[in-house]
Structure 1
Amino acid sequence: MPEVFATSEAQIEVADAHGGAGQHAAPELLGLAPYQWVSIAMLVLLLIAFLGAKVHRTIAGGLDAKIKAIRDNLDEARQLRAEAEALRQEYANKIAGAEKDAEAMIDNARREAEGIVTKAEADTAAMVARRERMAEDRIGAAERTAVAELRARAADASTRAAARLIASKHDAAADRVLADEVIGQL
């Protein structure tokens, strides 16, 4: 195939010479197309990287480290979850215990309140009875005092009345007769 520089006239001549279809001449080096040279260059680069620089070990080591870090994170997450569930269970037990304690406290408070009310009723009844006795004692004392005062006044009044009566009906001769009788009885 002749080497032709691409011109529009040359393409038309080449197209006419080959049956109407124009062909494009691709650049080549040592019989290889450019994409083949790129493939060879990539192969050489990868061989140098894997064999010479041991990149595959570095990549594998990095991946292994990443896998280990992920496993460690998963283990830590499992441990934290277990601890969280244990704490949740502990607090659920504490809440249940606190509810039982609260019920027991309420029952105890009710019993104490009933006891206090019963004692207060008994104390009130006893205090009312004491006050009634004290009032009765005061009334009895007042009655006795009044009776004693009344007797004393009656005695004073009868003594004065008797003295007036005796003074008005007795004279000196009657006093002598009484005095003689009293002396005779002794």
Structure 2
Amino acid sequence: MDATFWATVALVLFIAIVFYVKAPAMLNKSLDARADRIRNELDEARRLREEAQQLVAEYQRKRKQAEKDAEDIVAAAKREAEQLTAEAKAKSEEYVARRTAMAEQKIAQAERDAVNEVRSNAVELAVEAARSVIAERSDATSRDAQFKASLEQLKGKLH
């Protein structure tokens, strides 16, 4: 019996033991379990990928909505700023108009006061001149008569 025979017998015994222990079934079971695990991991990866795509789509919608909201806020701020500017301009124009009117009123009052003062001074000068002229031309009795006549004239003009 040579070594080849014993090698063949050992090989046959080994194969018999392997089949007796059901090694191919265990190997198949192990490979099936690994295939199931890989399949489950692939399914989980697909599910996670779909969730990620949904999240990306949701975040893009939210980003677009946020951009739209920001544009609306900017537009509203611009409108409000324009409105405030217009109001401020109108108020400043109104203020200038009031101040101009007040200045014109003060000028007109000053003119009236000046005219009244000139008239008052002219009346005083006229009365003084009339008094001095009357004093030169008349005596005491005629002064009383002229004074009474002047009073009568003034009473007549006042009524």
- Residue of structure 1 in register with 2:7 after alignment: 38
Give the structure-1-normalised TM-score: 0.66
- Residue of structure 2 in register with 1:11 after alignment: none
1:72 equivalent to 2:40? Answer yes
Give the structure-2-normalised TM-score: 0.76
Q: Distance in 2 between matches of 1:143 and 1:168?
A: 37
CA drift of 1:184 comes to: 9.3
1:63 equivalent to 2:42? Answer no
Q: Structure 1: any 5+ residue segments left out of the alignment?
A: 1-28
1:129 equivalent to 2:97? Answer yes
Q: Distance in 1 between matches of 2:102 and 2:90?
A: 18
After TM superposition, what 4+ stretches of structure 1 lie above 6 angstroms from structure 2? 182-186
RMSD: 2.9
Bigger fraction of residues in helix: 2
Q: Structure 2: any 5+ residue segments left out of the alignment?
A: none
- Residue of structure 2 in register with 1:94 after alignment: 62
CA 1:154 to 1:94, structure 2 compared with 1: closer, same or farther past 3 Å? Answer: same
Paired residues for 1:158-169 under 5 Å: 158-169=126-137
CA drift of 1:182 comes to: 7.3
CA 1:159 to 1:35, structure 2 compared with 1: closer, same or farther past 3 Å? Answer: farther
Q: How many residues align?
A: 154
Give the number of the structure whose alpha-carbon radius of gyration is greater.
Answer: 1
Greater shift in the superposed pair: 128-137 or 167-176: 167-176
CA 1:160 to 1:42, structure 2 compared with 1: closer, same or farther past 3 Å? Answer: farther
CA 1:170 to 1:48, structure 2 compared with 1: closer, same or farther past 3 Å? Answer: same
Paired residues for 1:100-119 under 5 Å: 100-119=68-87
CA drift of 1:83 comes to: 0.5
